[in-house]
Amino acid sequence: MSTHQLILKQRKELLAVLCGGGSAEPLDCVLDLLLAWEVLIWEDYLSIQVAEKALSYKVRQLLDVVYDKGEDACSLLLAAMNQVLPEEQKAGLCFGKECAEVGKNRPDTATLTLLADRPVLVRKLRDNIDGALNVLLTTGCFTIKDCDVVQLPVYTPSQQVRRLLDQVRFKGETAAKTLLQYLEQTETTRPNPEDKENHLSANCMRYQKKLQSSVAAQSHSLSTYGGTGHFSLDDIYTDGLLEVIDGSGETTMLGLEDVVGPVGTLNEDADTFLVSGEAGSGKSTLLQRLHLLWAREALLTNTFLLFPFSCRKLNAEHRELSLKELLFLHCCWPDRGQDEVFQFILDHPNLVLFTFDGLDEFKQGFTDEERHCCPTKQVPIPVLLFNLLQGTLMKGVMKVVTSRPQAVGPSLKHYLRKEVLLKGFSPGGIDCFVKKHHSDPAMARRVLESLQANTVLLSLCHIPVFCWIVTKCHQELLGGQDGIPQTITDVYLLVLQYFFQRKSSQPQGVLGKAWLEEHLDTVLKLGQLALEGLGASCYVFSGYELQRIGLTEQDVSMGFLIYCNDLSVTDCKRYEFLHITLQCFFAALYVVLNSKKNRSVIYRLFQPQYKQLSGLSQRCLGHCIDSSVEGVESRVTETLNLQITAQFVSGLLSQRHHNLLLDCCPTAVRERKAKQVVKSLSKGMQRHFKSIPRPVEGEKKSMHAMPSFVWLIKCIYEMQDSSIAQDTMAKLDVEHLKLTYCNIGPVECTALAYVLKYLRNPVGLQLDNNSVGDVGVEQLLPCLHICHSLYLRNNNISDEGIRKLLEKGMTCERFQKIALFNNNLTDACTQHFAWLLKSKQNFLSLRLGNNNITSQGVEQLAEGLSYNQSLQFLGFWGNKIGDRGAEALADALKNSTTLIWLSLVDNGVGSAGACALAKLISQSKTLEELWLNKNSISREGVECLIEALKMNSSVKEVWLRGNNLSPEEEEELSKQESRLTF
Ligand code: ADP
């Protein structure tokens, strides 16, 4: 078959693989190659990379452009895809015959060299963007604005490099030469990795191979799939959303390869990289992927030795160990030349990487009180671990640590090079995961359709562990007899049912209605183990402990407990729950179903932080008893686990599960426990409400939620009882509810909306700096009618989310303000705002800063603006509206009798735009502030503004810092008009 036909026939599949993970990186890499091979010319490239278009549009455009270029171009496109796509995505695709080498003469200009070497340059420059920009800036090839354009935080480092290259090309030959010279210099000063190998002895090489093969074997498959399927990590791994916040608070998305890269570095002197995320967000899996790729030499290629550790397993190490013993005993032992290998490690810290998974589960909280720097002296494990993290021991070795964010205290933060936030799956990630999980496309489609039909479930799937359960239990899900799952308790009950069903002796594995009662004995035993473990920070259990509780081999064979997957050689088997959240679920089942347990257990579970623990685990597990080790940070983790448990307890005691629990627990006991939960939740909320300070005169009564506020809301949601939500909210009387930096994702949005919709009085809901996303926005809709303002800055929201939000917003009389600074909005969202402004004549404030809106978008918005007679604040900071956009806005706003504040900072507005705005000034009777900093307005434009200001008395300030004016001009012009600020 000709390559022409191959492209046509496989169009759908090619589209799917290039868009599959939702990341533009595969397409960008293919484009790099096609530019380098001269298959595409620059104009083609521009016609494909249209900023505001969706990824699928761009891929289709690429396929069309190449198709039109004929057979050779098609075969090179297939070759490029073959080169770029990972093996697992290539299955089933046909790439045709290998095409001839693309051997071209070296280009004769620097600009052409940039194109020809583009794929290599993207790789090389990724870790050097700052350096390259610095050189381009100091040599005058770039302005600060050029640098800002390159470094927009919405771009990944690779995308930033591509923008840098595009900008250099645009600037011309001198800029291209400067960049190439800079690269040449950095090449010659960088150590050559070949040198490292020349000095490596055979023993070190042998040890590396041994370590690589053990790490590969250990990380090859996912433990959650251990007993129930045969997925390798390659088959199922799906990229999660990784973010880093730099020193100035800007967020950048990262790829896996950037976790230990320079982007987002906060402390150059530290060597510890933290990956933080909630339980189940995929931290361990990410680390496992990193291990596997290192072992295959596909990532971290400058790391010669990688030593993986699990903190929960280190808890069980009670011996004092030296560093050497820690490395060799817990990872793998060199067959020959142990001293030599160890010496090599000591001499080359820059070639070594340690990973510590689940620092939050390490029993002792981090402290830097005891210093230890001798690699051969034996010390307790916590001393060894903490000194490694601080860099007192083995300075220069990179460490990657994972933890839940709340468990990282200030003392550890001090030693972090940077913190990467893992935020679970994106909507595209969920799609990709489900398709990987179900090899049958029809089944995958059905599961995805059912998720689309139940957005509550879809929102849960943003957390990978829930996504795994939902996908795994698809049959129960699709054929659900007990209604569609709504809460995480519903989802975990599904998994329970699923595991019992697998082992069921009933015909066709169907479970009867009383399935829980049938397995009550196993559930209670597992529950006891789980609860005692949580109270003692114990997540790994010996066979002896299982025996003590009476767990039999048959109980274990159900699959909830798995063998610890460990590199170290130990003679006894150890077990852990499939996931920490499952341990919490069993603990909750025990609290609810065990009739012997003391009466106060529920009250203690719902105690405020740090008070829960005493007494919860009266009979600690054998190896867990260690009263000397307690630290605030480790107790935070226990609290977090008990909070998850409390959430499950709330869910299990909800009326919805009454029938299931009927024969497992006397009704009177169940009802008493449910009452206790309701009382505890109400008390917890009261505590929050009491903490609301009296409003300062002239300010709104506002509540800044404490972290446990969201937890209490989630517990109320689990109960699925609207009267509880209603009673609780009746007592909350605030005008502004601030939930910034609270890790609010789609799941939390569902719970928030469920409860907040019962607020008596309208509220401003501030959710800035969370991960609400489009799905979260949809979840918030039920409470939109009670929100007069919605603040969603920095929340990964795109045009689609806005469409749904505004559709509802238009019908909500009280909804008057929205702030969307720093999201993923493009011109496609402005038509919705135009409708909103047209139809809502009481809307007051629209802030759209730092998105990707151009003049086209503004022209669409102008339609609505010209009809609106209520808007007072309009913000466009950091978009690209240019002169055309400024003109359209000025024209649309000229009849406004309400506008007070307008910001067009950093929008590429020149003098033409300024003159248009001058007309607005001359007509407006209400405008008070106009912000035009960081544009390219020159003298001519400012003179227009001055003329207009002569006729205007309402304007108080016009900000013009950072425009195209000399200091002398600024001085002269400000003398002419004192309201101008330069
Ligand atoms: P955490 O360490 O944050 O608690 P895990 O890494 O243990 O979370 O993830 C829990 C489960 O979720 C995994 O066992 C796996 O089934 C699923 N999972 C997590 N991350 C991914 C991923 N990136 N790709 C595929 N599945 C994942």
Structure tokens at 861: 């918005």
Distances (CA, A) of 511 to 478, 490, 863: 16, 17, 60
> Do 131 and 255 reside in the same domain of the chain?
no
pLDDT at 585 over 90: yes
Point out the domain boundary residue: 77, 104, 131: 104
Q: CB within 8 A of 914, min separation 6: which ones? A: 886, 932, 935, 937, 941, 942, 944, 945
Q: What is the pLDDT of residue 402?
A: 96
pLDDT, one tens digit per residue, over 835-883 is 999 999 999 999 999 999 999 999 999 999 999 999 999 999 999 999 9
Q: What is the pLDDT of residue 478?
A: 61
Torsions phi, psi for 651 (to 5 deg): -65, -45
403 C-beta closer than 6 A to ligand 1: no
pLDDT, one tens digit per residue, over 901-924 is 999 999 999 999 999 999 999 999
Point out the domain boundary residue: 132, 151, 185: 185
pLDDT at 631 over 80: no
Rounded to whole angstroms, the maximal C-alpha distance in the chain is 91
Torsions phi, psi for 542 (to 5 deg): -85, 165
Of the listed ranges 288-292, 512-516, 708-712, the least confidently predicted one is: 512-516
| Closest by Cα among 301, 255, 275 to 418 | 275
Q: What is the pLDDT of residue 571?
A: 55
Could you identify the atom of ligand 1 that is nearest to the CA of residue 436? Answer: 25
C-alpha dihedral sign at 944, 946, 949, 955:
positive
Continuous segment of H or E residues that includes residue 765: strand 763-766
Ligand 1 mean position, distance from CA 488 (Å) = 16
Q: Hey, which residues does 416 pair with through a beta bridge?
A: 272
Ligand 1 mean position, distance from CA 402 (Å) = 13
237 C-beta closer than 6 A to ligand 1: yes
Q: CB within 8 A of 599, min separation 6: which ones? A: none
pLDDT, one tens digit per residue, over 642-655 is 999 999 999 999 99
| Closest by Cα among 869, 767, 755, 878 to 818 | 767
pLDDT, one tens digit per residue, over 920-942 is 999 999 999 999 999 999 999 99
More confident residue, 469 or 155: 469
> Do 166 and 209 reside in the same domain of the chain?
no
Residue 163 identity (one-letter amino acid):
R
Could you say which DSSP state residue 854 is in? B
Ligand 1 mean position, distance from CA 232 (Å) = 13
Going by alpha carbons, the residue nearest to atom 14 of ligand 1 is 224
Going by alpha carbons, the residue nearest to atom 26 of ligand 1 is 237
284 C-beta closer than 6 A to ligand 1: yes
| Closest by Cα among 424, 487, 483, 780 to 647 | 487
Share of the chain above pLDDT 90, in %: 50
For residue 969, being part of any structural domain is answered with: no
Could you identify the atom of ligand 1 that is nearest to the CA of residue 239? Answer: 23
Range of the domain at 308: 204-425
Ligand 1 mean position, distance from CA 544 (Å) = 29
Provide the 10 A C-beta neighbour count for residue 195.
8
pLDDT, one tens digit per residue, over 35-71 is 988 899 988 998 898 877 888 889 999 999 999 888 8
Ligand 1 mean position, distance from CA 776 (Å) = 21
Mean pLDDT of 448-454: 86
469 C-beta closer than 6 A to ligand 1: no
> Do 170 and 63 reside in the same domain of the chain?
no
Provide the pLDDT confidence category of residue 457 given band limits of 50, 70 and 90. Answer: confident
Structure tokens at 788: 């007069």
> Do 331 and 233 reside in the same domain of the chain?
yes
Provide the pLDDT confidence category of residue 228 given band limits of 50, 70 and 90. Answer: low
222 C-beta closer than 6 A to ligand 1: yes
> Do 332 and 371 reside in the same domain of the chain?
yes
pLDDT at 684 over 60: yes
Which CATH number covers residue 5?
1.10.533.10
Pairing of strands 561-563, 574-577: antiparallel
- Number of structural domains (the chain) is 3
Report how far residue 205's alpha carbon sits from residue 726's, in angstroms, rounded to the nearest whole number: 66
Report how far residue 843's alpha carbon sits from residue 5's, in angstroms, rounded to the nearest whole number: 54
Torsions phi, psi for 639 (to 5 deg): -60, -45
579 C-beta closer than 6 A to ligand 1: yes
Which residue among 468, 492, 584 is best mutated to probe the pocket of ligand 1, counting the most ligand atoms within 8 A of its Cβ? 468
Residue 590 identity (one-letter amino acid):
Y
Provide the pLDDT confidence category of residue 197 given band limits of 50, 70 and 90. Answer: very low
Mean pLDDT of 951-977: 95
> Do 365 and 313 reside in the same domain of the chain?
yes
For residue 563, being part of any structural domain is answered with: no
Angle CA(561)–CA(670)–CA(710) in degrees, nearest 5?
Answer: 70
Point out the domain boundary residue: 399, 425, 451: 425
For residue 97, being part of any structural domain is answered with: yes
Report how far residue 602's alpha carbon sits from residue 949's, in angstroms, rounded to the nearest whole number: 68
Mean pLDDT of 310-317: 88
Provide the pLDDT confidence category of residue 586 given band limits of 50, 70 and 90. Answer: very high
> Do 169 and 37 reside in the same domain of the chain?
no
For residue 132, being part of any structural domain is answered with: yes
Could you identify the atom of ligand 1 that is nearest to the CA of residue 289? Answer: 23
Ligand 1 mean position, distance from CA 284 (Å) = 7
Answer whether 773's CB lies under 8 Å from 796's CB. Answer: yes
End-to-end CA distance of the chain, in Å? Answer: 66
Ligand 1 mean position, distance from CA 167 (Å) = 39
* CA 290 distance to own-chain centroid: 17
Q: What is the pLDDT of residue 145?
A: 84
Q: What is the pLDDT of residue 572?
A: 67
> Do 400 and 252 reside in the same domain of the chain?
yes
Q: What is the pLDDT of residue 564?
A: 77
Q: CB within 8 A of 188, min separation 6: which ones? A: none
Provide the pLDDT confidence category of residue 481 given band limits of 50, 70 and 90. Answer: low
577 C-beta closer than 6 A to ligand 1: no
Per the prediction, the chain carries an average pLDDT of 87
Report how far residue 388's alpha carbon sits from residue 765's, in angstroms, rounded to the nearest whole number: 43
Q: What is the pLDDT of residue 194?
A: 47
238 C-beta closer than 6 A to ligand 1: yes
For residue 323, being part of any structural domain is answered with: yes
Continuous segment of H or E residues that includes residue 422: strand 416-422
For residue 451, being part of any structural domain is answered with: no
pLDDT at 509 over 90: no
Structure tokens at 14: 């090619």
> Do 342 and 259 reside in the same domain of the chain?
yes
Q: What is the pLDDT of residue 610?
A: 46
Q: CB within 8 A of 184, min separation 6: which ones? A: none
910 C-beta closer than 6 A to ligand 1: no
For residue 475, being part of any structural domain is answered with: no
Structure tokens at 739: 């939930």
Answer whether 822's CB lies under 8 Å from 793's CB. Answer: yes
Mean pLDDT of 95-120: 77
> Do 301 and 416 reside in the same domain of the chain?
yes
Answer whether 443's CB lies under 8 Å from 474's CB. Answer: yes
> Do 242 and 328 reside in the same domain of the chain?
yes
279 C-beta closer than 6 A to ligand 1: yes
pLDDT, one tens digit per residue, over 490-507 is 989 988 988 888 776 655
Phi/psi class of residue 53: alpha, beta or left (left: φ > 0; alpha: ψ in -120 to 50)?
beta
Q: Hey, which residues does 357 pair with through a beta bridge?
A: 310
pLDDT at 456 over 90: no
For residue 219, being part of any structural domain is answered with: yes
pLDDT, one tens digit per residue, over 257-299 is 899 988 899 998 899 999 999 999 999 999 999 999 999 888 9
Q: What is the pLDDT of residue 220?
A: 86
Report how far residue 486's alpha carbon sits from residue 469's, in angstroms, rounded to the nearest whole number: 14
582 C-beta closer than 6 A to ligand 1: no
424 C-beta closer than 6 A to ligand 1: no
pLDDT at 193 over 70: no
342 C-beta closer than 6 A to ligand 1: no
Which CATH number covers residue 420?
3.40.50.300
Q: What is the pLDDT of residue 618?
A: 44
> Do 181 and 240 reside in the same domain of the chain?
no
Residue 234 identity (one-letter amino acid):
D
Which residue among 88, 285, 400, 644 is best mutated to probe the pocket of ligand 1, counting the most ligand atoms within 8 A of its Cβ? 285
Q: What is the pLDDT of residue 433?
A: 93
Mean pLDDT of 238-259: 88
Mean pLDDT of 460-488: 79
Pairing of strands 873-875, 845-847: parallel
436 C-beta closer than 6 A to ligand 1: no
